[in-house]
Amino acid sequence: MVRKEISDHIRSWQFIILSLIIAFTFFESLYVAINNLSSAVSNTKDPDHLLVYLKLLTTTDGTLPPFHVFISFLGPLLGISLGFNAINSEQQNGTLIRVMAQPVYRDNLLLSKFISVTILISTMFLSLTLFMIGGGLLITGVPIEIEEVIRILSYIIICVFYVEFWFSLSIIFSIKFKQAATAAIASIGLWLFFTIFYNIIINIVSKVITPKSSLFSPGRYSWIETLFHMSPNQLYTDATTTLLMPKVRSLGPMSMEELAGAIPNSLPIRDSLLIVWPQVSGLISATIVCFALAYYFFMRKEIKC
């Protein structure tokens, strides 16, 4: 069943088109990074200037954003395109009842869809990363360090869970709605809500609830910051920025005492992982919750001709 799902995804036009778009943006970002790599490496004021392969993923001249910024927009579209018609299209075509008539467990169908998408996404991101490492090795001749390998692999894992979150969310709509178009609109609408309107609503609500006199009070900022970081887009951005830029020492405001005592140096991978662990665990938990809801709704769904 997993092989069948992988074969169906590879032959589907939505996966082919989005994969080409992601590959195109990757090569464009890599081209811009290579053209500005010499200036980025020679900048001794940057604590991360010797981490060449991380610079290939983060360096930009302002014309194009880095690749991980592109994925924050294209990743949800990839996940939604793979999941919005995962169940309802098979039910409309009559293939779902035929599969359920076979001696297979019902949950195996949903698990096969989730596993197949995980394999596809992991293979795609890993292939692009290996191409970047190979190209960087040919151009610069600098061997990659172990810390860079760990950071890049951690970045790939976060990207996979980020896309899986939107895939699981779109499968929920695919189960609840009979029409694929309705599920696609609902999934894209929720993505637009978290991307555009979520921060606006939080700002408006915070200004209404909190008096202006306490605008900069620590208590107000703490709960507003917590709400901001609950968005899946923000969880992904915080985690990837900290992992790919070791000079990032905190995801929140730092006091003057902390800034005065901070040494302008790159954080080791262990400290970076400790900083982003709440974001990573939150993204993984959200993915698991969405998949568990999809599993629950699918197991209770009535399947008939």
Phi, psi of 211 (to 5 degrees): -65, 155
In a domain, 81, yes or no: yes
Q: Give the pLDDT score at 34.
A: 82
pLDDT, residue 210, reads 67
Is 122 within the bounds of a domain?
yes
Across 262-281, b (16+ Cβ under 10 Å) vs e yields eeeebbebeebbebbeebbe
Reading the chain (305 residues) residue by residue, the pLDDT tens digits are 788 888 888 888 888 888 888 888 888 888 888 888 777 777 777 666 677 788 888 887 777 788 888 888 888 998 998 888 888 887 777 777 777 777 777 778 888 888 998 999 999 899 988 888 888 888 878 888 888 889 899 999 999 999 999 999 999 998 888 888 899 999 999 999 988 888 888 888 777 776 654 544 555 556 677 777 788 888 898 888 888 888 776 665 544 444 445 556 677 888 888 888 888 999 999 999 999 999 898 888 777 65
**Is 305 inside any structural domain?**
no
Q: What is the pLDDT of residue 257?
A: 43
Q: Does a structural domain hold residue 304?
A: no
Distance CA 269, CA 227 (A): 27
- The pTM of the full predicted model, rounded to 2 decimals, is 0.86
Please report, to the nearest 10 degrees, the dihedral formed by the alpha carbons of residues 19, 136, 251, 269 taken in order: 120
Contact 60, 66 (CB under 8 A): yes
Domain count, the chain: 1
Domain that holds residue 37: 2-299
Quick check: is 232 in a domain?
yes
Cβ atoms within 10 A of the Cβ of 179, count? 13
